[in-house]
Structure 1
């Protein structure tokens, strides 16, 4: 009971901190992103503006994670979309990071799979796991690979995202979806916690397994 109460207190504090964090950072970030767009219109040949814009998009994504933790609902609606298109957009967004980190990505979606839910939130789940995968692969000297598999049966949609990075210890796997838990030196321990919340909100489940060859995140959503 004491552990549960402590856990609730930490989540409450996290929510309060997140709400303050989002308010203080989102407004100036939006202004900066707007001015960068104006600069790109005036100077379309300055390639570093694309880099700045991409990094700001990444920062905006991180702030969105805290937005969900702070329990402030985003203005989005449930909709029907195609997983193939969503992954295409995500990979396009991550392309500079993939190239910079020398990571190859393989997408196995044999046919269009429809999904009903909050597109921006589902995007955040996949994007967070893929960004974590890219980070994990940085220590690898050999080929760096990420594989995305998706399929469906009569009742559920199954999505697997795996990378050939270092094995995550068993004791870390047990708590990997808990808040404040991270395997990164500079991680916040928020990303996978938010992922789990979003997946469960969409009547799904998420698990992680890791061995010497692959680290795998499996998501299963009820249709």
Structure 2
């Protein structure tokens, strides 16, 4: 070991040449020499355990420094190995006792391994802390975005609902004042107006899922799955007929769900209308399936269409606000669906391939 201490400058010179060759972008040679000298002190002082050595206290700062500079940990470890090779190269030309060299190298190897484990530990500890901090900041930004949407939604609901309430009231008055003969002529048109009115109401309810100050908070109640599906299909069937879509429904009609009726109607309506939009560019053979399954804990409602596959680059963020593949889409529909399903102790997911895209709604079973 005394021999190695005497040749530290040569070892550092050899190591510097190797580092320059491997990492020519590294320019701070003085800092590299200083850290290399500390490192060799730690490695050569075999009488002091690695964890107790004064230089060991500097390792966390080293790791934080290279992590902040974006240096991959593998580069730091490679630099450690290059320094070990420089030690071997210095020993090789000299005539030393073979057994003594083996003992020295075994001790050095053990201390290098201890140092490398410490580097990986502290580097990962710091990197994990930074990742958690970044995740926290992203969550805060996401929450700010949701709060902004919520404020916009509450404002829109107030401005839109007032005139809508007046419209609905006047429709009711007109029905009451029209004769039966007149109702035969205009009744179906008034039915269409009322259906469209209900559609707008559901859209407003969906937007309010982002608002912390909801205008109306509907209570959950027991409703049959069949009744829930049928109430939505009544509104969307004209569009399906117009688009020549073949609809197949296989629903466990008597299953009871404990949910908010209007918001869940909004979720179903949104997914079905999205499916209709997805089939627009398909010339023939348009199909949509709505079916349900149940296990011990949950009821699942699947809405499938044979339209195009959802782009892979959108899949991880599909339920986030403002994410859409539609040229005229707002990117809020599926985000609203996600919010509503969470509020109703449910969830929404999807599977998509080139043959079919299926959105899956899951609800907790309504147990006594």
Same fold (TM over 0.5): yes
Count matched residues: 223
**Counterpart among 120, 126, 136 of residue 262 in structure 2:** 120
- The answer for the alignment partner of 1:4 in structure 2 is 139
Are residues 199 and 75 of structure 1, via their aligned partners in 2, closer, same or farther at CA, if it must alter by over 3 Å?
closer
**Counterpart among 158, 162, 168 of residue 33 in structure 1:** 168
- The answer for the alignment partner of 2:356 in structure 1 is 214
Give every structure 1 segment of 4 or more consecutive aligned residues whose post-TM-superposition deviation is greater than 6 Å: none
- Per-residue CA shift, 1:106-163, capped at 9, x if unaligned? 1112552121222222222112111211122122111222101112122211111111
For residue 53 of structure 1, report the CA deviation from its aligned partner.
Answer: 3.4
Tell me, yes or no, if the aligned pair for 1:173 and 1:209 is still in contact at 8 Å: no
Q: Secondary structure at the match of 1:188?
A: coil
For residue 171 of structure 1, report the CA deviation from its aligned partner.
Answer: 1.4
**Which structure's relative contact order is higher, taking Cα pairs within 8 Å and 6+ residues apart?**
1
Q: Matched residues in 2 for 1:140 and 1:173: separation? A: 22
Instruction: Specify which structure has the higher proportion of helix.
Output: 2
Matched, 1:16 2:157: no
Q: Matched residues in 2 for 1:40 and 1:101: separation? A: 31
Give TM-score, length-normalised by structure 2.
0.56
Q: Matched residues in 2 for 1:27 and 1:57: separation? A: 14
Q: Secondary structure at the match of 1:93?
A: helix
Q: Secondary structure at the match of 1:160?
A: strand
Structure 2: gaps of 5 or more residues: 1-133
- The answer for the alignment partner of 1:165 in structure 2 is 307
Are residues 14 and 126 of structure 1, via their aligned partners in 2, closer, same or farther at CA, if it must alter by over 3 Å?
same
Larger radius of gyration: 2
1:46-57 to 2 correspondence within 5 Å? Answer: 46=186, 47-57=188-198
Instruction: Specify which structure has the higher proportion of strand.
Output: 1
Give the RMSD, CA atoms, in angstroms. 2.0
Matched, 1:145 2:280: no
Structure 1: gaps of 5 or more residues: none
